[in-house]
């Protein structure tokens, strides 16, 4: 007796009463492709030097749980393990600090396709797409708090060159893999205390972006995104790349806007921004994360924030214009487990959104029947979406429920703890 199937059949009947076809929803989940951020496996350290670790830039990783990936091989093993426990088709999102530098020091302005050919081949074998990011942090030339908006021309041009190289790499990834690579620019530039020249730095950032984007690549190979932020540690008083700045830049220059839900005032909702932004740009990139009191990048859970993001994407019928990426890094727990929980939570939010009888609720809304709308939205919260989720997982050949917990525990015992023991 297949309990999962039985529960699914009951759920299917329940949803059918509301006009929702659960089989069709499960099929539609094929359009929900989540890009896994490689930096959760090693706490945003990268492999430029053997002991590379995240340094500054206003982002922080806390915790020292054993089992961190210390090499590309270990990172790939962790990614394979994670992907084997996540339903659906994913992508992989790399940062420039994760190239295969073969033991030699390659500075940021020298990163090139050859350092990422191994990753392209890796992705090709797995039939997944790659996304990419310039890494404008953890570097001596980012220490004074400014990169692309630096008043030091040598530093500014160094980072312009870095990002240009990263776009070249991205375009090649997209070309070889047959799926456009989303290249995202986030820079740490900002000021801890009250600056008097906000304008000067913003003019410089605009100039740098113009120089970077002067190089054109086919749209089928690369999609360029820019990511704003409200504040960071060390950039509390001003962030050069604010939301207003990038929104204007993206609209004017037809770029993608990256919406990271840790990058706004806590009472602002990224879910609310999607329909506005998409009136003016072709596509958005999401950085799905969980900020706890600040942009803390906790592992994503199925909370209201993420649920609303998914609902807004689905309700506006814009799945094909939204690139879903993750952005969390927690070093205080099993990192593979963190991946699995965070990715599955994001997928669950989309499943829930797809299971909504939106037309029915919309009718209440348009008839000004607000009690009925409210009641329906409340009722949706206790519908048996878990049964649909479990069946979807089973169909995809990955553990349903929390059955992945034992897989992760076993991997920890056999692989992750061995790593730490070798290290110690």
Give yes or no: 260 in active site: yes
Q: How far is the CB of 260 from Zn ion (least distance, A)?
A: 4
* Segment interacting with Zn ion, rule: CB under 5 A, options 39-47, 106-114, 280-288, 340-348: 280-288
Q: Are 175 and 187 in contact (CB under 8 A)?
A: no
* Residues 6+ positions from 155 with CB-CB distance below 8 Å: 141, 144, 146, 147
Instruction: Select the residue interacting with Zn ion from 48, 260, 305, 312 (CB under 5 A).
Output: 260
Q: If contact means CB under 5 to 8 A according to the sort of partner, which of ligand RNT, Zn ion, none does residue 229 touch?
A: ligand RNT
232/312 Cα distance (integer angstroms)? 27
Give yes or no: 227 in active site: yes
**Angle at 393 (CA atoms; ends 173, 67), nearest 5 degrees:** 60
Of 297, 305, 330, 356, the catalytic one is 297
% helix, strand, coil for the chain, step of 5: 50, 10, 40
Smaller CB separation from Zn ion, 189 or 260:
260
Q: Are 90 and 83 in contact (CB under 8 A)?
A: yes
Q: Does 187 bind ligand RNT (CB under 6 A)?
A: no
Instruction: Select the residue interacting with Zn ion from 287, 290, 344, 419 (CB under 5 A).
Output: 287
Q: Does 227 bind ligand RNT (CB under 6 A)?
A: yes
Of 183, 263, 273, 298, the catalytic one is 263
Smaller CB separation from Zn ion, 43 or 260:
260
CA-closest candidate to residue 148, choices 201, 184, 94: 201
Q: How far is the CB of 90 from Zn ion (least distance, A)?
A: 18
Q: Does 290 bind ligand RNT (CB under 6 A)?
A: no
Q: Does 59 bind ligand RNT (CB under 6 A)?
A: yes
Instruction: Select the residue interacting with ligand RNT from 186, 213, 245, 389 (CB under 6 A).
Output: 186
77/32 Cα distance (integer angstroms)? 24
* Segment interacting with Zn ion, rule: CB under 5 A, options 8-16, 96-104, 321-329, 413-421: 321-329
Smaller CB separation from ligand RNT, 20 or 97:
97
Q: Does 212 bind ligand RNT (CB under 6 A)?
A: no
Restricting to residues 349-368, name those near Zn ion by CB under 5 A: none
Smaller CB separation from Zn ion, 172 or 260:
260
Q: How far is the CB of 234 from ligand RNT (least distance, A)?
A: 12
Alpha helices in 196-303 (DSSP H): 198-213, 243-253, 270-277
Q: Is 130 left (phi over 0), alpha (psi -120 to 50) or beta?
A: beta
Q: Does 231 bind ligand RNT (CB under 6 A)?
A: no
Q: Does 287 bind ligand RNT (CB under 6 A)?
A: yes
DSSP type of residue 154 = H
Distance in angstroms between the alpha carbons of the first and the last residue of the chain: 48
Look up residue 391 and give its two tokens.
């069946």
CA torsion sign, 361 to 348 to 268 to 323?
negative
Q: Give Cα separations from 160 to 96, 148, 185, 207, 398 (angstroms).
A: 14, 6, 11, 10, 43
229/379 Cα distance (integer angstroms)? 35
Give yes or no: 183 in active site: no
Q: Does 288 bind ligand RNT (CB under 6 A)?
A: no
Give yes or no: 295 in active site: yes
Q: If contact means CB under 5 to 8 A according to the sort of partner, which of ligand RNT, Zn ion, none does residue 345 touch?
A: none
Q: Does 131 bind ligand RNT (CB under 6 A)?
A: no
Residues noted as catalytic: 186, 227, 229, 260, 263, 287, 295, 297, 327
Binding site for ligand RNT (CB under 6 A): 39, 44, 59, 133, 186, 227, 229, 260, 287, 295, 327
């Amino acid at each position: 007796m297949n309990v999962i199937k039985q529960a699914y059949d009951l759920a299917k009947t329940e949803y059918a009463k509301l006009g929702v076809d659960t089989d069709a929803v499960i099929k539609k989940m094929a359009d929900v492709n989540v890009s896994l951020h490689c930096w959760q496996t090693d706490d945003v350290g990268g492999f430029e030097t053997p002991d590379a670790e995240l340094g500054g830039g206003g982002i922080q990783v806390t915790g020292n749980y054993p089992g961190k990936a210390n090499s590309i091989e270990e990172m790939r093993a962790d990614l394979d393990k994670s992907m084997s426990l996540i339903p659906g088709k994913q992508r992989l999102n790399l940062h420039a600090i994760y190239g295969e530098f073969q033991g030699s020091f390659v500075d940021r302005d020298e990163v090139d396709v050859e350092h990422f050919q191994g990753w392209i081949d890796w992705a090709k074998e797995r039939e997944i797409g790659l996304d990419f990011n310039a890494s404008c942090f953890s570097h001596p030339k980012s220490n004074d708090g400014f990169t692309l908006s630096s008043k030091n021309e040598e530093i500014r041009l160094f980072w312009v060159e870095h990002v240009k190289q990263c776009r070249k790499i991205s375009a090649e990834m997209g070309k070889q893999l047959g799926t456009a690579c989303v290249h995202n620019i986030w820079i740490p530039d900002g000021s801890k205390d009250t600056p008097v020249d906000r304008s000067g730095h913003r003019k410089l950032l605009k100039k740098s972006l113009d120089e970077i984007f002067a190089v054109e690549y086919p749209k089928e190979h690369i999609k360029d995104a820019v990511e704003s932020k409200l504040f960071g540690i060390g950039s509390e008083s001003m962030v050069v790349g604010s939301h207003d700045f990038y929104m204007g830049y993206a609209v004017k220059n037809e770029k993608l806007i990256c919406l990271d839900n840790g990058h706004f005032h806590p009472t602002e909702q990224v879910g609310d921004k999607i329909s506005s932004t998409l009136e003016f740009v072709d596509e958005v990139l999401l950085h799905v994360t969980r900020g706890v009191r600040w942009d803390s990048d906790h592992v994503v859970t199925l909370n209201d924030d993420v649920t609303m993001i998914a609902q807004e994407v689905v309700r506006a019928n814009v799945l094909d214009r939204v690139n879903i990426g993750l952005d969390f890094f927690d070093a205080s727990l099993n990192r593979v487990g963190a991946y699995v929980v965070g990715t599955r939570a994001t997928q669950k939010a989309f499943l829930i959104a797809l299971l909504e009888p939106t037309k029915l609720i919309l009718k209440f809304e348009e008839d000004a029947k607000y009690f009925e709308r409210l009641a329906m939205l409340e009722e949706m919260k206790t519908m048996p979406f878990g049964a649909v989720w479990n069946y979807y997982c089973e169909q995809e050949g990955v553990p349903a429920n929390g059955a992945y917990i034992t897989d992760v525990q076993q991997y920890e015992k056999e692989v992750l703890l061995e790593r730490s023991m070798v290290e110690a």
